[in-house]
Amino acid sequence: MGRADVLVIGAGINGLLTALELREAGAAVRVLDRGPAGRGASWAGGGILSPLHPWRYPDAVTALARWSQARWPALAAQLREASGVDPEWWRCGLLVLGLDGDERMAARGWCARHGLAALDADALPVPERARCLAGEVLEPEALWLPDIAQVRNPRLVRALRGATLAAGVELAEGRAAEALEVRGGRVQGVRTAAGREEAGAVLVTAGAWSAGLFPPGLRAPRVEPVRGQMLAWPPGAAALATIVLRGGHYLIPRRDGRILCGSTVERAGLDAATTEAGRAELARAAAALCPALGRAAPDAHWAGLRPAAPGGVPYIGPHPDAEGLFLNVGQYRNGVVLAPASARLAADCLLGRAPTLDPAPYAFDAPRPAEVDSV
């Protein structure tokens, strides 16, 4: 290969989409992934294109989410055309249950301020959309967000892979980066088992594994793995045409009738195994929301590792101690919805363009909430 302008480490949604942005701007881009592209969190997630209770998040997350939500329909169409794979963007809406009166009022105020439709569930075609619910739809505090959309993760990552290759991005799968190489305050490239890879700039998008790439003496971002398990039922198990959220659990209908239930939130290090306890938690939550799911057998169970920065506020931009080194990591539970804005902003920083959004909240040393789960 020729020497890339930018070497991207990690081919999840953040790596692939930033690579696409850079390539579209004319850069020579090479992406490394230690496995096949797009088999990390980006494959495992639910694809809900909104933070779960968006009003609970810091403004820094909201800014990325709102920009991204406006971009998603065109991006999904672009990826479908470029790759021939439909990521199934679908404005199915989100029904939020379990709010108390105060939170519901605060949520409606937040939605009004941010231009997001929020309606009473009983004013809408929710019963037909959510036929399987256990009478929950009558809950007076239910809030219906009709404009929330979803994508289907495995198809999304296939579409992204196809689109980046079609655009001329070089993709090296099965090639793990072992450590960043930094000398004299400048990144030189990365070390791999097959030798050193050099580039003018290096972008870290290795998700939950990112911190492990930083050698002693180079500050790593505070990104930790948080495991999430999902359970799914085949088409026909129940009738649902909107996402339903109660507390930390949700049901997601896919267009073909599959229903997913997510998700667990577990500290298990870098272990992405499923567990019986996780299965039981999700089966219970699904049956409580939709009794028909309690009577049907799930046909898939998987897990992924979310890259969690404190408060879910990602690191996007240059590393302050190593020239040429950039990051786009830490989106935690919202990496899919936030990806378009994250990738655009990361590309702006790498290319020295005027930033699309104020980059200050995502800077390496920006103040972040003390805890990962601050929301």
Candidates 20, 28, 47, 118; binder of ligand FAD (CB under 6 A) is 47
Q: Mapping DSSP to helix (H, G, I), strand (E, B) and coil, where does residue 26 land?
A: coil
Inter-CA distances, 166 with 35, 84, 110, 173, Å: 20, 11, 40, 16
Among 4, 6, 8, 11, binds ligand FAD (CB under 6 A): 11
CB of 123 to ligand FAD, least distance (A): 26
Judged by CB, which is closer to ligand FAD: 15, or 361? Answer: 15
Rounded Cα distance between 188 and 181, Å, is: 5
Could you list the beta-strand ranges (E) of the chain: 4-9, 29-33, 94-97, 119-120, 143-145, 170-173, 177-183, 186-192, 195-204, 224-233, 243-246, 249-253, 259-262, 300-308, 315-318, 325-329
9 touches ligand FAD by CB under 6 A: yes
Nearer to ligand FAD, 11 or 285 (CB): 11
In the set 15, 162, 189, 310, which binds ligand FAD (CB under 6 A)?
Answer: 15
How large is the C-alpha radius of gyration of the chain? 20
As a whole number of angstroms, the distance between CA 230 and CA 232 comes to 7
48 makes contact with ligand FAD (CB under 6 A): yes
Query: CB under 8 Å to 283, separation ≥6 — which residues?
Result: 231, 261, 293, 294, 298
- Interface with ligand FAD includes 263 (CB under 6 A)? yes
**CA–CA separation, 164 and 242 (whole Å):** 31
Shortest Å, Cβ 138 to ligand FAD:
26
HSE, side-chain direction, 13 A CA sphere, residue 15:
36
State which of positions 212-251 bind ligand FAD (CB under 6 A): 213, 228, 230
Q: Are strands 177-183 and 186-192 parallel, antiparallel or unpaired?
A: antiparallel
93 touches ligand FAD by CB under 6 A:
no
304 contacts ligand FAD (rule: CB under 6 A): yes
Using CB under 6 A, which residues numbered 265 to 294 contact ligand FAD?
none
Q: Could you give the string, one character per residue 319-338, with x where binding to ligand FAD holds by CB under 6 A and - elsewhere? A: ----------x-xxxxxxx-
Binding to ligand FAD in span 167-206, by CB under 6 A: 176-177, 205-206
13 contributes a contact to ligand FAD by CB under 6 A: yes
Q: Which of 235, 227, 237, 233 is nearest to 261 (CA)?
A: 233
Helix axes 59-83, 339-351, angle to 10 degrees: 90
Nearer to ligand FAD, 35 or 84 (CB): 35
Nearer to ligand FAD, 307 or 318 (CB): 307
39 lies in the site for ligand FAD, by CB under 6 A: yes
When asked if residue 45 is in the footprint of ligand FAD (CB under 6 A), the reply is yes
Query: Judged by CB under 6 A, does residue 40 bind ligand FAD?
Result: yes
Provide, rounded to whole angstroms, the least separation between the CB of residue 360 and ligand FAD.
21
Given the complex with ligand FAD, which of 298 and 304 has the nearer CB atom? 304
| Count of residues that interact with ligand FAD, criterion CB under 6 A | 43
Single residue of 7, 19, 21, 46 touching ligand FAD by CB under 6 A = 46
User: Would you say 356 and 345 are in contact if contact means Cβ atoms under 8 Å apart?
Assistant: yes
Q: Does residue 311 touch ligand FAD according to CB under 6 A?
A: no
CA–centroid distance for 333 within its chain:
6
Residue of the chain from 155, 254, 258, 306 that contacts ligand FAD (CB under 6 A)? 306
- The region, left, alpha or beta by phi > 0 then psi within -120 to 50, assigned to residue 133 is beta
Give the interface with ligand FAD as residue ranges (CB under 6 A).
9-15, 32-35, 39-42, 44-48, 176-177, 205-209, 213, 228, 230, 262-263, 304, 306-307, 329, 331-337
